Amino acid sequence: MSKIGKRAILIPEKVEIKWEKPWVKVKGPKGESSLKIVEQNIDLELVGKELKVKLLNPSPESDIFLGTYRSLISNMVTGVSQGFEKRLELVGVGYKAELKGRALMLSLGFSVPVEYRIPSDVQVSIDKGVIVVKGIDKQRVGQVASEIRALRIPEPYKGKGIRYQGEHVRQKAGKVAVGATGGTKG
């Protein structure tokens, strides 16, 4: 049995869970989220302020879904109670971002500014050159942050581009640096 699947999910105050097979609905102060559980062998048991994900008939085939569904439901509970956030830094001379309605306008060294349409289920704000992506769905927040980062991935020579806050970009030595160290021709 899955180690993660065995652990109970603690439900915080002001969070409400409904299990209407096959849908799990989680409602909290930040919003509402739902998940369809397609595996027929999965069942949920709510005991007080703890939720347990269980198998009706344990088998190796259905055991693989136990930890996955437990993690998905746990992320839903965290999302509606606290929310998720990803921060992106703009690194480069003249790189800047501004919001225009539901569009993020980015000056990234191209001849024209890049426009990114912000989906309705996430919020984007700009705080001192840092783009902050927030939402209740962990997967969606990560996807939007990844799409914004992909507009200008950090390059390995000077490190210019959009990177996650705290991300370390491994830098390469340029041609001049390699030549100065006495590299062999060949």
Distance (Å, rounded) from C-alpha 60 to C-alpha 111? 55
Distance (Å, rounded) from C-alpha 80 to C-alpha 10? 13
Residue-wise pLDDT for 49-67, tens only, equals 999 999 998 888 788 889 9
- Residue 92 is encoded by which pair of tokens? 């480069």
Confidence band for 78, pLDDT divided at 50, 70 and 90: very high
Q: What is the mean pLDDT of the chain?
A: 91
Residue count (the chain):
186
Domain boundary assignment for the chain: 9-82, 84-164
Q: What does the pLDDT read at residue 173?
A: 86
Residue-wise pLDDT for 127-182, tens only, equals 988 999 999 999 999 999 999 999 999 999 998 999 999 988 888 888 876 666 66
C-alpha atoms less than 13 angstroms from C-alpha of 44 in its C-beta half-sphere = 25
Residue 183 confidence (pLDDT) above 60: no
Residue 185 confidence (pLDDT) above 60: no
Instruction: State percent of the chain over pLDDT 90.
Output: 72
Q: What does the pLDDT read at residue 182?
A: 60
Distance (Å, rounded) from C-alpha 78 to C-alpha 101? 28
Structural element, H or E, at residue 88: strand 84-91
Residue 184 confidence (pLDDT) above 60: no
Which architecture, in CATH terms, is 9-82? Alpha-Beta Complex (3.90)
Of 3.90.930.12, 1.10.340.30, 3.40.50.300, 3.40.50.620, the CATH number of 84-164 is: 3.90.930.12
Cα separation values, 94 from 89, 91, 155, 175, Å? 13, 9, 16, 25
Residues 6+ apart with CB under 8 A from 31: 79, 80, 136
Task: Tell me the mean pLDDT in the region 34-47.
Answer: 91
- Hunting for tokens 């799409």 — which residue is that? 147
Task: Tell me the mean pLDDT in the region 24-28.
Answer: 96
Gap between the terminal Cα atoms of the chain: 56
Residue from 102, 167, 96 nearest 127 by CA: 96
Q: Higher model confidence: residue 182 or residue 14?
A: 14
Residue from 57, 64, 50 nearest 7 by CA: 50
Task: Tell me the mean pLDDT in the region 14-25.
Answer: 93
Q: What does the pLDDT read at residue 4?
A: 85
Domains 9-82 and 84-164 share a fold: yes
Task: Tell me the mean pLDDT in the region 3-26.
Answer: 92
Q: What does the pLDDT read at residue 129?
A: 86
Task: Give the predicted TM-score (pTM) of the model.
Answer: 0.86
Estimate the crossing angle of helix 60-81 against helix 138-149, to 10 degrees. 80
